[in-house]
Structure 1
């Protein structure tokens, strides 16, 4: 009985305790009386502390928020989500492409050709002396120079099927410099050079290995180290003069090069490696010019340079060795990840690091010598307040200046004239995904019908309190990659039943849908700890039962949900969400090569046209063409309905 009374009384006591804190803590107006400095402080709160304040090492949102204040990248995005220069004032993108001369190939009209002949042949085509189609003409118009490269030999040691020595003997090669990146360059050149000229199988002739390799391994080594042709996109950044780190040291091209090398250094264990693996070389041409050469076509490349730039003079090998010795550590095992820099960072952004008290706060001060001018706030305080309710009460009291409003609070707080609100559409969406390997989800009519049976507007109105929008496809809705011509599925239970009937599903005597004696039944799952998804699950279950679907539901603990159900493809249908980046690269989520266990295309979506578009999107540097490809991919996914796209939420602060 005593325990029961405690359980009943404790929540009331806690609520009263928190409510009276509103009266304990001076309001914002009271704090600023006689303390005008409070007006130049900005105080925000987070449920968790930063892990490490270093942009090449961090992997959590709290760290990223602080890093965005301390560090600066070469570029970022403006309010229209377009790239703009930061440390870099401008940049150019062009291509340097190479191909091996094929003296055995018959070039249409002239037969077999040697190195000099093929160069002269291409030069005539560039000058317009050869009749070509429109696509090739556009390609040739972008060619700025053609250079013949002499044969070369090199040796390297690799580890594939064990330690292997590889000798690479490349024949004459031709280098083409283009004013723009053209992913169809070699495909278009086949018009005048023949389809066999760029036969990739030839690359195995250019290598010798000791010991001998299995055919598959040999082909892989040849493709990497002796390609028949290659695209090398190049980004040249021009840095601003006068940009300095917080310690006064000038920021130069060497710092950019160093940041890249720090990321790919195995000792750093950087989670950013996949973004920079396509880079072939980063060159500091002069103190204010950086040249980045890529191994292959990779259109998200530019966006990766929003990464904060590190100070080379504080983190180079000599500096790290001195720090290791000072701290009594082994220099051979000491790297950036072990450095005190990660607790006392030095960047070039608008705020300077002051103090970090773990699980309490991180304090920053305005950088008076910031290249764009000192920020208006003199101080930025990042408080760690794990409890959302406590954050809310402190916001009311004025001890924090911003608060991430919950959906049910938006209307009330938005009407309060004491507060200024900001809101926007989130970069992500919630969906129902269908395991297309299982019946009945292999049929697009069934997937579409299930989507039509759900009143998504009802979910937005009653679950999200109106703080959401319909979404029809996989791209960020605020970008032009999103195809606005595609309309959401209409709520149409009768239409859903018609589609199911067309697919062979008829209602039995008990009102349930069946086909060939089998009921239309499956289990819809989601993860625990997400009330919005659980509410959507209940709405979907009710909607489907109304049309005769026998649907069961299950809410699974997060780690089990991911590791045992999603990663092992052990589910029928699932409610989940994606938090998306702005770049339109959807390879991991939608390409058919990613349908196996432990991959992100866990619904098993396969479409050959979609595959081609996905690859073209990640290799296309022309924005207008990217948009065209994205719109078509959006159409295909909307037609196939591998997901029932539910909503994208709105945030308010």
Structure 2
């Protein structure tokens, strides 16, 4: 038996008299319940129902918003990320600093990140991603995000510098692009990247790894066990493709899927009433629009303005979206610092629409209810994607509204992947209804710059040299207050010339089965917090791979 020396006995007596001593001793001796609670969260499968398949899982090729979220939040790491407060947080980069008058940004990378094939992620990958993104043969639609980057320097195995042409306020937003693996993609000629197997079989470094992609059926991702600082709670996430919105909603209500990130207003009401479903409404950052193909001989500026005056956005919002939206007024959304709150808009005014059409030479001379010019009736096709009931209904309502001013509209519902080919590749449409996810940075060039007709997302082939100069000038000014007048003029030109009719900014309406915990969706996207989703052990399903096969 050992006896403590007098000094130790006096110390123990003092400690015993301190009230915090016993609490501390209990915390040391008590079983590690906190660790056990965390470890019990690991495991389980979540099924997410989507209306359409992904187009690509390569950032350089993807246009589908759901695919871009999977790329950003599940498969790849960016230098930085936005946290729930929309503040920049470390991701692949553990730290960064500005120097040389804010014209150089140096990133220090984590040393423990590996690609899913085991190869380390290094500064060479960052440099290579930048080179690919700006290569015109690649045709990255958002390449303009690097317009103000002069060069990228590999300063060490885990250190990379971005040297800017001039400082500007949104640089960290622009450098959030997911980093790609050099050792995989350097073997592929840039002009062949669009057909590369990588687009459907990516090697990533994010919290999940792609395991299976059955076209138009399902996409399966599994947790990356080597993801630092810790792997996600879920073992597996399965995206199930259910094009029909009614079937998709029923799958949520019956528990066939756990999450539907995009519900109709009617579906949202039904989800609110279901005891096993949590209905989530959160701020969106996308807008729905009618795009007028500027190559079409009908759609002059005056005619586009007339058509915009004839569309009743408030009727659409109240009737079809049950008020779950706000009107969209221009090319920038209200949460962006450059947004002009006093932007003049083309208000609903059917009489003005009729007058503008008559002035443009469109008259109903034969009394059949359809205007004509030079013997050609004013008739066109309005396309949108199958599986989206809201857009289908919007198209039908616009068809009825334009009929009131003597314009005949034929609604054309097209399968998603076919629509992407027709619109992005061939520009084969008269007018279309689509939506864009807006970015947190102010860089509208991929939608509106003349060069973006071939290289970006300028689907409507709108080209205005003054707009081009404003886009370039606005991005070059680092002082936001000095830049605001530039962006104000840009917004006003777009509204005045009406290449789009801006319709509405919908609230994001989602449904989540209550067995899935930790789901907080916000303006960043429905997958932003997926590493924290978890399922209690007693509520887990899908024990084997066969169990989630449809």
Same fold (TM over 0.5): yes
TM range (shorter): 0.5 to 0.7
User: Is 1:396 the equivalent of 2:272?
Assistant: no
Contact map agreement 2:292 2:299 (CA 8 A) in 1: no
Matches within 5 A, 1:73-112: 73-79=78-84, 83-92=88-97
What secondary structure sits across from 1:416 in the alignment? coil
Aligned match of 1:577: 434
Contact map agreement 2:78 2:178 (CA 8 A) in 1: yes
Question: How far did residue 270 of structure 1 move?
Answer: 8.0
Aligned match of 2:319: 462
User: Is 1:179 the equivalent of 2:101?
Assistant: yes
Q: Distance in 2 between matches of 1:560 and 1:368?
A: 38
Question: How far did residue 73 of structure 1 move?
Answer: 0.8
Question: How far did residue 472 of structure 1 move?
Answer: 0.8
Matches within 5 A, 1:367-386: 367=225, 370-371=228-229, 373-375=230-232, 377-386=233-242
Aligned match of 1:433: 292
Q: Distance in 2 between matches of 1:303 and 1:579?
A: 18
Aligned match of 1:523: 379
> Using a 3 Å threshold, how does the CA distance of structure 1 residues 481 and 567 change in structure 2: closer, same or farther?
farther
Question: How far did residue 429 of structure 1 move?
Answer: 2.1
Contact map agreement 1:75 1:85 (CA 8 A) in 2: yes
Could you report, residue by residue, the CA deviation over 1:459-518 in whole angstroms, capped at 9, with x for unpaired residues?
122233433321110123432233233365443445656777999999999798999x98
Q: Distance in 1 between matches of 2:275 and 2:367?
A: 56
Contact map agreement 1:486 1:635 (CA 8 A) in 2: yes
Q: Distance in 2 between matches of 1:374 and 1:562?
A: 37
Matches within 5 A, 1:210-609: 234-240=104-110, 251-260=121-130, 271=140, 274=143, 281-293=151-163, 302-310=172-180, 315=184, 343=201, 345-347=203-205, 349-351=206-208, 353=209, 355-356=211-212, 358=214, 359-365=217-223, 367=225, 370-371=228-229, 373-375=230-232, 377-388=233-244, 390-403=247-260, 404-423=262-281, 424-431=283-290, 433=292, 435=294, 441-443=300-302, 447-486=304-343, 488-493=345-350, 522-527=378-383, 529-530=385-386, 532-546=390-404, 549-556=405-412, 571=430, 574-582=431-439, 583-587=441-445, 589-591=447-449, 600=458, 602=460, 604=462, 606=464, 608=466
Whose RCO is larger (CA < 8 A, sep 6+)? 2
Question: How far did residue 291 of structure 1 move?
Answer: 1.0
State TM-score, norm by structure 1: 0.55
Contact map agreement 1:519 1:550 (CA 8 A) in 2: no
Q: Distance in 2 between matches of 1:335 and 1:435?
A: 29
Q: Which consecutive unaligned segments of at least 5 residues does structure 2 have?
A: 1-39, 511-550
> Using a 3 Å threshold, how does the CA distance of structure 1 residues 421 and 528 change in structure 2: closer, same or farther?
closer
Q: Distance in 1 between matches of 2:423 and 2:221?
A: 41
Number of corresponding residues = 456
Q: Which consecutive unaligned segments of at least 5 residues does structure 1 have?
A: 1-35, 95-177, 181-232, 322-333
State TM-score, norm by structure 2: 0.64
Contact map agreement 1:449 1:496 (CA 8 A) in 2: yes
Q: Distance in 1 between matches of 2:311 and 2:120?
A: 58
Aligned match of 1:43: 47
Could you report, residue by residue, the CA deviation over 1:91-122 in whole angstroms, capped at 9, with x for unpaired residues?
4556xxxxxxxxxxxxxxxxxxxxxxxxxxxx
Q: Distance in 1 between matches of 2:64 and 2:295?
A: 33
Q: Distance in 1 between matches of 2:332 and 2:105?
A: 26
Question: How far did residue 75 of structure 1 move?
Answer: 1.7
Contact map agreement 1:592 1:607 (CA 8 A) in 2: yes
What secondary structure sits across from 1:539 in the alignment? helix
> Using a 3 Å threshold, how does the CA distance of structure 1 residues 554 and 458 change in structure 2: closer, same or farther?
same
> Using a 3 Å threshold, how does the CA distance of structure 1 residues 437 and 299 change in structure 2: closer, same or farther?
farther
> Using a 3 Å threshold, how does the CA distance of structure 1 residues 362 and 464 change in structure 2: closer, same or farther?
same
Structure 1 vs Structure 2 CA RMSD: 5.2
Aligned match of 1:70: 75
